[in-house]
Amino acid sequence: MLSTLPPLHHALEVSVVIPCKNEKDNLAFLIDEVGTALVGRSFELIVVDDGSDDGTDLFLKQAATTRPWLRHIRHEKSCGQSNAVRTGLLFAKGEFIATLDGDGQNDPAFFPQMIDALKAGGPSCALAAGQRTKRTDGFVKKYGSRLANKIRQSMLKDNTRDSGCGLKVIRRQVFLNLPFFEAWHRFLPALVVREGLQVVHIDVLDRGRSHGTSKYGIFDRLWVGIIDLFGVLWLRKRRKKIPIISEIDLGGTTEPR
């Protein structure tokens, strides 16, 4: 697999990654929403098909005939949302990686604002994290997520109200350097802060699901997430010092990185 990955030089401004399993009906409108949101920018959209069996493959093949920026990466068997996000990252060509869920509840119209906020923050700003307002989820999912976020904030102190929002934009090179584990995409603010980098937060609107039901349940998001929380806390504590790195050229001048 590694021999097939694209080089690290950036040919595009942004790669949008959508992890999905059996979300064909939602992709039908979500793909064009991404295209509309990023008009005028160099971008690609990578749909990571996590072992779907609802005809997603045939739909994407047809959609790609009129959308040259659309790519389809497929897992032969379902490996979970975290692995799907990571697969998209590894195959992406953009300087920035933008993520959103495949259920249609995340609106890609916020991507331009998030990309511009990340650029305005400079090289030390690595992540623009969406923060959902007016949640449309059911009672159990909404309050389970709220509880998980409160526990996470109290332990990690990442100053992020809503770590589980699928709308995120992150510098690709930073993303590649973060430790990978199941549910790692839900701890991106804490992992970015661990690297001595900054996070900018953008309020985004949450939408109701138009088709289907959730493929990644509240159980793994809450209780399994609490187990992962202690792992991230350990990683944070083990990062004792963050070096300030400069390359010294032969002429004696110093250029900070």
pLDDT in tens, 39-74: 999 999 999 999 999 999 999 999 999 999 999 999
**CA neighbor of 102 nearest in space, from 175, 41, 155, 50:** 50
How far the first Cα of the chain sits from its last, in Å, is 31
Rounded Cα–Cα distance for residues 91 and 178 (Å)? 16
Residue appearing with tokens 């973060």: 178
pLDDT at 75: 96
Whether residue 2 has pLDDT greater than 80: no
Tell me which amino acid residue 227 is: I
Which of these ranges, 77-81, 194-198, 236-240, has the smallest mean pLDDT?
236-240
Asked whether 121 and 193 are in contact (CB, 8 A), the reply is no
CA distances from 158 to 2, 22, 153, 187 (A): 33, 33, 6, 9
Between strands 43-50 and 12-20, the pairing is parallel
